[in-house]
Chain A
Amino acid sequence: MLRYTINRTLMMIPTLLGVAVLVFFMLRVVPGDVVEVKLRGDGGNVSQETIEMERQRLGLDKPLKNQFADWMVGMVKLDFGKSMWTERPVTEEIAIRLELSLQVAIMATIFAVLLAIPLGTTAALMRGTMVDYIVRVLTIGGLSIPSFWFGMLIMMFLLGLFNWLPPITFTPIYVDPVANLTQLIWPALAVGYRYCAVVARMIRSSLLEVLNEDYIRTARAKGVFEKLVISRHALRNALLPAITVIGVEFAFLIGGLVVTEQVFNLNGIGKLFVQSVSHNDFTLIQGMVMLLAAIYVVVNLVVDLLYAVFDPRIRYS
């Protein structure tokens, strides 16, 4: 198990390195950078000389390989550089927003998983009935309704019914739990619906697959109560693939907040990402992509290790 863990951990490095190379050079293949957006953005008449000076100040005039080397060396020291737009350290820009986004993501996960398990199980057990059809339509609906529109509907509903809109300023949960939860529950719902749909579909299909296995027939044949067959034999095995989906979706959720935060006017990671893209803020884009990719590979690592814990066949192969 230890060897498996070490091997699996080391495999993260080439992926992250690849992400770094890809995002760095992708942003620089086509001309256009933050300086142009900053100085010429409003159609202002700025001389080429000023632009070159600004580029020089930000280090954008150096050869690409030097820029890349600087960035990599910095990252090893956990220094992600400064935002080219606000000139504040990238880590600081991210840090002040991470708490909010992370909390929304966690709340959405809890909501999604709690709802998905009963939904997926019922649909699988009542396969082909009206209930199965309804769950199917509901879950495909979850995959189809854009989270930003769902968020807008929630806002309209709150406004129409209670004449109330969630506040824009963020209150941390340890300052005022009630204010915090009444603010963040809505975006969590908006992104959680899709999440729930994905997980419920996964549980349904993997449960259907497991129910066809020989050991289920054996359990039934030897007279185990149906409830126990489902909970002990079937569901336990069917939940394994669901863990993967929960993990991957969680990692992607923080990216998925990109649009939802816009609707609820939340100053989180997603909004920062959109801003950095529209400003051409290379360092900030790079830093955030690295963060999101790191979350993805770490979550994947955890999922794989959980798998190995639950399923010894993986550990020993």
Chain B
Amino acid sequence: MAMLAPTLPEPALSARPSSVVLEFSRQQPLGAASLVIIVVMMFAGIFSDLVAPYDPLQIDFAAILAAPSGDHWFGTDAYGRDILSRIIYGSRTALVIGFTSSFVGSVLGAILGIASAYFGGKIDDWIQRFMDILLAFPIIVLALVVVAALKAAILFGIDINLIVAIAIPIVPRVCRVVRAAALTIRVMPYVDAARAAGYSDSRIIFRHMAPNVVAPFLIMFTAFIAQAILLEASLSFLGLGVTEPTPAWGLMLSGNAADFYREAPWMILFPGAAISLAVFAFNLFGDSLRDYLDPRFKT
């Protein structure tokens, strides 16, 4: 699999930020387009209060199930809440959970992967054995088991345990890829040199090896933001993720939304389109990033 054998990052990474973006857009037009979608989404998520036309929680009995119109671009739901506003606020929920859980999972996976490759032997065996166990769970099943085990713990309006539940299935997948990349770095002369110089294990891992697995790490991190958003939406759809009244895309499709296939199709069309677009953008961006960072795939 292409993603399993990433190579070292190009020097382009260390160039000036603006020229990196330009070079990336030139080489990967699809990636640039996805980056635009991501930036728009982040903007909507950060400035929801300014962008959203309505309060996402405001119930308006005068406008129950209103069709899309000038007043409500995407229509309203069964409580008369504005769907566009809920989608805009939902992007905040999706991004916060997507970013943090992918970050937690990827960082943990990367550290375990590098440690596994660096120490080798028994430690490597044990870590890999444990990862194999985690991999035997289908992603959503593992997340659901963690949800069942931990229950909700709200901090700053976000369910921390939901983030943990989404992060855990990411760990073994990142661990595998980073371990493979780290194995090739472990045999590099500079790692031997660092060890000969008497540096501590943690210094070699964090200062010498970690920077050199940045490319596969970044690729995995972006790809798993997509997965995390999708997983959050699925859990919320099942009623086991984000809970009312927090606006979340998956939640907007759950419960009785399906009763309105005929009367209010906009209730289903727009939130689902928002999930798809967000996940699509991150997937495409991760894909383009891989092609960009991995010279072997250049045309």
Contacts and interface: CB of A to CB of B under 8 A. Distances in A.
A109 B119 CA distance: 40
Interface string B134-158: 1111111100111111110000000
A14 B129 contact: yes
Contact of A274 (B132, B226, B238): B238
Interface string A162-191: 000000000000000000000000000000
A27 B145 contact: yes
Contacts of B284: 140
Interface stretch (A86-94, A221-229, A291-299, A308-316): A291-299
B287 interface: yes
A220 B297 CA distance: 22
Interface stretch (A53-61, A118-126, A144-152): A144-152
A241 B137 contact: no
A90 to B, nearest CB: 15
A297 B132 CA distance: 10
A205 B1 contact: yes
Nearest to A271: B238
A27 B240 contact: no
Contacts of B276: 141, 144-146, 149
Contacts of B268: 149, 152-153, 156
B144 A273 contact: yes
Interface stretch (B50-58, B85-93, B100-108, B258-266): B258-266
Given A144-B279, A156-B261, A26 B145 contact: yes
Nearest to A204: B2
Given A30-B151, A127-B299, A152-B258, A146 B287 contact: no
B226 A259 contact: no
Nearest to B226: A144
B272 A255 contact: no
A23 B272 contact: no
- Residue of B2, B136, B139, B262 with most chain A CB atoms under a 10 A cut-off: B136
A210 interface: no
Interface in B217-274: 226, 230, 233-234, 237-240, 250, 253, 258, 261-262, 265, 268-269, 272
Interface stretch (A42-50, A76-84, A277-285): A277-285
A84 B137 CA distance: 22
A259 B280 CA distance: 19
A156 B144 CA distance: 28
A63 interface: no
B150 A30 contact: yes
A29 interface: yes
Given A19-B133, A22-B133, A277 B140 contact: no
Interface string B92-135: 00000000000000000000000000000000000001101111
B283 interface: yes
B226 A143 contact: yes
A146 B144 contact: no
A23 B137 CA distance: 10
A202 interface: yes
B30 interface: yes
Contacts of A149: 253, 268, 272, 275-276
Interface string B271-298: 0100111011001100100000000000
B279 A258 contact: no
A18 B275 contact: no
Nearest to B265: A156
Contacts of A14: 129
A134 to B, nearest CB: 11
Interface string B196-219: 000000000000000000000000
A82 B96 CA distance: 40
A149 B1 CA distance: 29
A155 B138 contact: no
A4 to B, nearest CB: 18
Contacts of A16: 136
Contacts of A133: 30
A263 interface: yes
Nearest to B280: A144
Nearest to A16: B136
A262 B234 CA distance: 11
Contact of A32 (B151, B262, B287): B151
A14 to B, nearest CB: 7
Nearest to A248: B135
Nearest to A32: B151
Given A146-B233, A153-B272, A27 B133 contact: no
A274 B240 CA distance: 9
B230 A144 contact: yes
Contacts of A112: none
Q: Which are the 7 A-B pairs with shortest beta-carbon distances?
A: A255-B138, A149-B272, A18-B133, A144-B280, A144-B279, A293-B136, A252-B138
12 contacts: A16-B136, A30-B150, A140-B287, A144-B226, A146-B250, A146-B272, A148-B237, A152-B261, A159-B261, A160-B262, A254-B138, A289-B141
Interface of A: 14-16, 18-19, 22-23, 26-30, 32, 127-128, 133, 136-137, 140-141, 143-146, 148-149, 152-153, 155-156, 159-160, 202, 205-206, 209, 241, 251-252, 254-256, 258-259, 262-263, 273-274, 277-278, 280, 285, 288-289, 292-293, 296-297
Given A30-B151, A255-B137, 9 more contacts: A15-B129, A15-B136, A22-B134, A27-B148, A140-B287, A205-B2, A255-B140, A255-B141, A278-B240
